[in-house]
Amino acid sequence: MSAARAPAAGDKAATTTFSIIAAISVCHLLNDMLQSLLPAIYPILRENYGLDFGQIGILTFTFQFTASLLQPAVGFYTDRKPLPYSLAAGMGFTLVGLLILSRAGSYSILLLGAALIGMGSAVLHPESSRVARMASGDRPGLAQALFQVGGNVGSSLGPLLAAFVVLRYGQTSVAWFAAAALFAMILLLRVGHWYRHHGLGRLPHPTLRAVAESGYSRREIRLALAVLIALVLSKFVYMAAMTSYYMFYLIDRFAVSVQNAQIHLFVFLAAVAFGTVAGGTLGDRFGRKFVIWFSILGVLPFTLALPHVNLFWTGVLSVPIGAILASAFPAIVVYGQELMPARVGTVAGLFFGLAFGLGALGAAAIGEVADQTSIRQVFLLCSVLPVLGLLAGLLPRTRPADAVAAGSGT
C-alpha cells in the first residue's frame, strides 16, 4: 500500500462516481444541443431577417462573449463560496433564451436570446467541470472527457434537429426544445444535492492549498498558462470557422442543399465527440502533454488539405480534423487543474471562458473576412492555425496532486 494513501477520506476521493458524471454529461448534452440550435439555424435566420455574414458573426459573438465574460468569474467565485444549485438556475437562463429566439421580432431581440443562452452556459460549464473533478476519483482525464463528450454529442444533435424539425416547422419550433431545458433543470437539482452533501469533501481543502500547489514555481505556472492560452486560441478559432461557417462553405463551393450541409456538420461534430473521449482516456494513460502536443499539431496535414479537395474528401477529412482537435480540450483542462488543484473552478472557468471568448472573436472576425473576401479564403487562412501546436513543447510535465502531497507531507 502506498504511503501517500490517506485513510478513509482518501479512499473515498479516489473512487470514481460514474452516476454523477453520467448525470452532468447528460445535462451538458442537453445544454449544448440547445445552444447549438443557434448556429444550426443561421441559414433560416439569414433568410428571415436579411442578415449578412457580419451580422451572423455578431450573433455568435454575443452568445460566446457573454459566456466567456462570465465563466471565469463564476469559477473564481465558487472556488471560495460553492453554489451547488447554481447549475439548475443557469439552465433557466437557457430556457428563457430559447423562448425569446423562437419569437424574436427583430435582430436586437435575437441578440438578447443569444446573450441569455450564453449566460446559461457561463454557469453550467465551470460548475459542471468542478462536479466532474469531484466525481473523478483517480481518473480525472476520463471524467472530464465524459463530461465534455456530452456537450459534443449535444452540439452534433443541434444541426440534425434544425434540419428535420426547425427547417420543417419554422423558427417558432425552437420553443419546443424548452422542455429539454426543463428536464435538465430537474436533473441538475439532484446533482446539486450530491454536490452539497458529498462532492465538496472530495476537493482539496483551502488549508491544503500550499501543499497542493508546491510542486510548481510561479514562473512555471505562468508559462504553462500562456502556452495553453495560445493553444486554445488555435483550436477554438478553427472550431469557430467550422461550427459557424462550414455549412456556408459547403453551400458556396459545392452547391449542396441546406439540409445536406447540416448533415455534413453533424458528421464533423460527431467526430468531435469521439475525439473528446479519446483525448481524456489517452491523457490518463500517456500524460496530458503528449495528448496536447499531438492534438493541436497533428491535425495540421488535414486542415491544410481541406480547402483543396472535392466534396467527398471534404467530408472524409472533417472526421480526423474534428476528432484530433477535440482530443486537446479535456487534456488542457485537466493539465491546468493539475497545475492548480485547489482552484478547480477558476481553471475550468478560465479555459471554458477562453474557449467561448476566442470562438466569439474568431467568429466575428471570420464573418467580416468572409464578407470582404470569400468564405473559401477564410478556410485557407484558418488551415495554418494548428502550427501554434509547436508551443506545446514548452509545457512542463505535470505531477498529480497526490504525488506532490506525498512528497511534502510526512
Q: What is the separation of C-alpha 327 from the centre of its chain, rounded to a whole number of angstroms?
A: 11
**What tens digit of pLDDT does each residue of 274-308 get?**
888 888 878 778 878 888 888 878 899 999 999 99
Tens digits of residue pLDDT in 36-58? 788 778 888 888 888 888 888 88
* Size of the chain, expressed as the number of residues it contains: 410
- Whether residue 6 is contained in a domain is answered as no
Q: Does any domain span residue 7?
A: no
Three-state DSSP class for residue 50: coil
SS3 248: helix
Residue 2 belongs to some domain of the structure: no
Is residue 120 included in any domain, yes or no? yes
**For 170-193, what is each residue's pLDDT tens digit?**
888 888 999 999 999 999 999 999
| 106 part of a folded domain | yes
Is residue 57 within 8 A of residue 367, CB to CB? The reply is: yes
Assign residue 287 a region: left if phi > 0, alpha if psi is -120 to 50, beta otherwise?
Answer: left
| pLDDT value at residue 182 | 94
Domain ranges, residue 28: 15-402
Q: What is the pLDDT of residue 223?
A: 87
DSSP 12-38: HHTS--HHHHHHHHHHHHHHHHHHHHH
End-to-end CA distance of the chain: 15
Query: Among 270, 240, 268, 246, which residue's Cα sits nearest to residue 354?
Result: 240
Question: How high is the mean pLDDT of the chain?
Answer: 81
CB count in 10 Å sphere of residue 10: 13
Q: If pLDDT is split at 50, 70 and 90, which confidence band does 23 have? A: very high
- pLDDT at position 63: 83
Task: Please indicate whether residue 242 or residue 17 has the higher confidence score (pLDDT).
Answer: 242
- Assigned domain for 238 exists: yes
- The answer to whether residue 11 scores a pLDDT higher than 80 is no
Task: Give the span between the Cα atoms of 155 and 28, in whole angstroms.
Answer: 10
Residue 79 CA neighbour count, 13 Å, CB half = 21
Distances, alpha carbon 389 to alpha carbons 67, 237, 265, 292, 395, in Å = 25, 13, 24, 8, 11
Q: Where are the alpha helices (DSSP H) in 50-139?
A: 53-80, 86-103, 107-135
Grid coordinates belonging to 276:
473528446
Q: Is the pLDDT of residue 232 over 60?
A: yes
Q: Using the predicted structure, report yes or no on whether residue 254 has a pLDDT greater than 90.
A: yes
Output the pTM of the full model: 0.68
Report the alpha-carbon angle 242-245-246, nearest 5: 55
Highest mean pLDDT among 73-82, 179-188, 264-273: 179-188
Q: Give the separation between CA 349 and CA 355, rounded to whole angstroms.
A: 10
Residues 6+ apart with CB under 8 A from 193: 84
Bigger pLDDT: 24 vs 71: 24
Cα–Cα distance measured from residue 241 to residue 268, given in angstroms and rounded to the nearest whole number: 12
| Residue owning grid cell 465524459 | 146
All cell numbers assigned to 160 = 440534425
pLDDT tens readout for residues 56-69: 888 888 887 787 77
Sign of CA dihedral 136, 142, 144, 146: negative
Q: Is 341 a member of any domain?
A: yes
Say what percent of the chain tops pLDDT 70: 88
Q: Kindly compute the dihedral angle of the four CA atoms of residues 97, 79, 145, 185, in this order, to the nearest 10 degrees.
A: -40
Number of domains comprising the chain:
1
In a domain, 408, yes or no: no
pLDDT digit string, tens, across residues 333-392: 888 878 877 677 778 778 877 776 776 677 778 888 888 888 899 899 889 988 888 888
- What lies within 8 Å, CB to CB, of 223 at 6+ separation is 394, 396
For residue 387, give the CATH number of its domain: 1.20.1250.20
